[in-house]
Amino acid sequence: MTGGPAGSAGSARVEHLVTSGTFDLDGGSWEVDNNVWIVGDDSEVLVVDAAHDAEVIAAAVGPRRLVAIVSTHAHNDHIDAAPALAARTGAPVLLHPDDLPLWKQTHPGRLPDGELTDGQRITVAGTELVVLHTPGHSPGAVCLYSAQLGVLFSGDTLFHGGPGATGRSFSHFPTIIDSIRDRLLTLPPETVVRTGHGDSTTIGAEAADLPVWIERGH
């Protein structure tokens, strides 16, 4: 990694909010709690998924510079507050372009500001995060991995207990299994997985259950 100014490298930490709202797709609507992750230090941060409440997220960011709003995918519950948070902070909203059809269902008049691509590196507070394109839950789903922090932000691709849902439009179970097996379970087993909903887990805790998920089909 390139590192930041002396004293900043390795100083990044992970902060956590839970916000509530609805997930809407295919004509259904479900009450959901979302994890919002803030990565950075006392000077600058990055937000992973601006879910539901721009005011609460902006308050947690405080006076710190918001370098980017990274969207793990474009289900409405993960992006509904992204434009409002961007307007308040000037930060760009980033999304993998394969999720633009989903994005436009929620924000038809406002496109993301930039693209996420596989292998892209984003640096905040001297800490590097790598974008992993992990389609399956949605076509443009991504995870963010920081070897330095020992953390994976998995969005809705991998949860405590198995893969993200693939029963609705734009999802594909064999594809999410390929993504998890080839891109996530190959990470160090001690990697802490910070998910889009619910509890955290580790790569090692989930890896042994891959055959169970394939057998049950979800």
The window from 68-76, 91-99, 181-189, 201-209 that contacts Fe ion (CB under 5 A) reads 68-76
Least Å from the CB of residue 142 to Fe ion: 12
Does 52 interact with Fe ion (rule: CB under 5 A)? no
Q: Closest distance between Fe ion and the C-beta of residue 156, in Å?
A: 4
Contacts of 121 (CB under 8 A, 6+ apart): 128, 129, 130, 131
The encoded tokens of residue 126 equal 């001297």
- 61 by Cβ neighbours in 10 Å (0-12 / 13-18 / 19+) ranks as buried
Whose Cβ is closer to Fe ion: residue 99's or residue 156's? 156
Q: Which is nearer to Fe ion, 95 or 124 (CB)?
A: 95
| DSSP 8-state code for residue 55 | H
Q: How far does the chain reach from its first CA to its final CA, in angstroms?
A: 37
Half-sphere exposure of 45 (CA within 13 A, CB side): 22
Q: What distance in Å separates the CA atoms of residue 84 and residue 76, rounded to the nearest whole number?
A: 14
Q: Which of 75, 96, 133, 197 binds Fe ion (CB under 5 A)?
A: 75
Q: Which is nearer to Fe ion, 12 or 74 (CB)?
A: 74
Kindly tell me which of 183 and 197 has the beta carbon lying closer to Fe ion. 197
Residue 75 CB, shortest distance to Fe ion, in Å, is: 3
Total binding residues for Fe ion by CB under 5 A?
2
Lay out the site mask for Fe ion across 139-168 (x = CB under 5 A, - = otherwise): -----------------x------------
**Residue whose token pair is 């949860």:** 159
The contact set with Fe ion (CB under 5 A) reads: 75, 156
